[in-house]
Copies of this chain bind each other. A is one copy, B any other.
Amino acid sequence: MEKINKGDCFELDTRFTQAQVNAFADCSLDNNPIHVNEEYAAKTPFGRPIVHGFLAASVFSRVFGTKWPGEGTIYMSQQMSFRAPVFVEHDYVARFEVLEVDTQKHRGIIKCSLVDKANDKEVITGEAKLMHTERF
């Protein structure tokens, strides 16, 4: 299995639908109207429904667990800063860069961000610690 090294990068385009947001509200029980009620959201400074931070940032988890490093990843920790609202039906790209690798402990520290494709602005930034016995 190919090793992941310091400096390696990965990215994935992503987009969230109102249906995904509604489904997340149902399964997480986080039914804050800012996410699911268009009328309510219109009266907030955001002007329209925003994606739950945890649903938006779950693209990091999805990439780690299913794509890069992929199956076998142990998710140790995740820091995330919510810098700007994430809107439904808008194009984003999740970007990743390996900051450090410990090949003895099979651990990697990954810089993660969710970026608005329209203006290249970071809307979520963060850092993850992962373990993968074969890839690190």
Chain A residues with CB under 8 Å of chain B are 19-21, 23-24, 26-32, 34, 52-55, 57-59, 61-62, 65-66, 71, 75-82
Instruction: Decide: A30 and B77 in contact? CB cutoff 8 A.
Output: no
Q: Which residue of B lies closest to A71 (CB)?
A: B32
Known contacts A23-B23, A75-B53, A77-B80, A66 near B32 by CB under 8 Å: yes
- CB-CB < 8 A to A31: which residues of B? 66
Q: Which 5 A-B pairs have the closest CB atoms?
A: A23-B27, A30-B62, A32-B65, A77-B81, A28-B58
Report which of B20, B34, B53 forms a contact with A78, defined as CB distance below 8 A: B53
User: Of the candidates B24, B34, B65, B66, which one forms a contact with A27 in the assembled complex, judged by CB atoms under 8 Å apart?
Assistant: B24
